[in-house]
Amino acid sequence: MKVLLRPNDSFWYYSQLLNVPLPLVVDSNPNLDPNRLVPGTEVNVPGFVAIDYRIQPGDSLWKLAGQSGTNVDALLLLNPTVRPERLVVGQVVRLPRRVTWFVVDTNKPYDYAALIADLNRLSDVYPFMRRRSIGPSVMNKAIPELRIGRGAKRVHANASFHANEWITTPVLVRLMNEYLLALTNRGAIRGLQMGPFYDTATLSVVPMVNPDGVDLVVRGLPASEPYRSSVLQINGGSTDFSGWKANIRGVDLNNQFPALWEEDTIGAPQQPSPRDYHGTTPLTEPESIAMAQLTRESDFDRVLAFHTQGQVIYWGFQNLEPPESETIANEFARVSGYTPERTINSFAGYKDWFIQDWRRPGFTIEVGRGVNPLPLSQFPEIYEQSLGILLASLYM
């Protein structure tokens, strides 16, 4: 919600007036100095939307304030030209409404357009959430990264490295919405107050690493060439892309990292394929390059890569992981019911590379069970399991 700063207003006053944590108000206005505010400046207030209301007979600002659970000065803040003693029937005023519901729409086949629509809604309501593109996909779709928090612990989570594992994206988006909702309403999730996590941790999320591949699986053939013809050729002429894991060029993005890459190519496809083709060398694809660059510049303390399926948590790589990785993996297993496994006979993955180069905890989390792409009927269960894991990544 946007308001115009009045003389003598401050971020602290807005925090008190609307019962929003002060750090969230400050971080929603990164270009403003809290100590040098100028009247007339537009200010973002997180966790609220403004709705239009048409004055009815018998209405007053005091009555409307009581009905909307706020106070008169909050109404005057949104309606600076309104004279309380001169309300006119039919006059339109703006009322602040605290957001207490999920603003994302995740219960559907979730393509790139759905992701961007949901991120736009989150950005509008929660402007303290920082959002940027970490780079383009092959088809020039911006790959978004979200960050929440101001703490020293740097936790990263990502989803949809693999196209037909797209259900992991709406899971992470809804997780972000629940976290943001709890922060603005001073609330708790599973008995844990979220405010302290905002101060101690910075959460980075890339909810869709492979947007072109996800769109291919969810929406079918792209309209533009050369991609329309090339994916048909790679897929053997079939328009059934349910088995497609790769990016739009037929490169498996989670086999693109320089962590025993050469060993992992043995027995794998040697040309573009719906799955398992590693590319000609590590980090040839713009999506994997973007993830590598993000990781190098961010100095993450731990990373979580969400995949499907198997209800397994992989936490090791070549005995290079630190001792704390096992402790964290066991806690992830406790809160999710998943099985922790140290390693698997597979290399060149994102978490493998992170463990190898940083010697810090990295996890591949295989959610759900069945054949990819998993049906939306599994979403509620996967969501609750993943929620426990994400919370544990912040408090461990």
This prediction's pTM: 0.96
Decide: 211 and 112 in contact? Cβ < 8 Å.
Answer: yes
pLDDT digit string, tens, across residues 110-162 = 999 999 999 999 999 999 999 999 999 999 999 999 999 999 999 999 999 99
Kindly tell me if the per-residue pLDDT of 7 is higher than 90. Answer: yes
pLDDT at 229 over 90: yes
Tokens, residue 19 = 């019962």
Residue that is written with structure tokens 């807005």 in the block: 14
Question: Percent of the chain having pLDDT more than 90?
Answer: 98
Q: 225, 331, 366, 381: which is the annotated catalytic residue?
A: 366
Q: Tell me the two tokens of residue 90.
A: 């039919």
Q: How confident is the model at residue 346 (pLDDT cuts 50, 70, 90)?
A: confident
Task: Give me 266's structure tokens.
Answer: 């043995």
Q: Please give the pLDDT value at position 359.
A: 98
State the sign of the Cα–Cα–Cα–Cα dihedral 191, 192, 193, 194.
negative
Question: Is 145 a known active-site residue?
Answer: no
Q: How does pLDDT run across 250-294, given as a tens digit for each residue?
A: 999 999 999 999 999 999 999 999 999 999 999 999 999 999 999
User: pLDDT of 185-206, one tens digit each?
Assistant: 999 999 999 999 999 999 999 9
Range 118-151 burial, b when 16+ CB lie within 10 A, else e: bbeebeebbbbbeeeebbbbbbebebbbbbbbeb
Per the omega criterion (within 30 degrees of 0), is the bond before 21 cis? no
Give the Cα separation of 241 and 126 in Å (integer).
Answer: 36
Domains of the chain: 2-98 (3.10.350.10), 112-213+282-395 (3.40.630.10)
- Cβ atoms within 10 Å of 326's Cβ, excluding its own: 15
Report the pLDDT value the prediction gives residue 261, as an integer from 0 to 100: 97
Q: Is 159 exposed, middle or buried (0-12, 13-18, 19+ CB in 10 A)?
A: buried
Residue 2 has pLDDT above 90, yes or no: yes
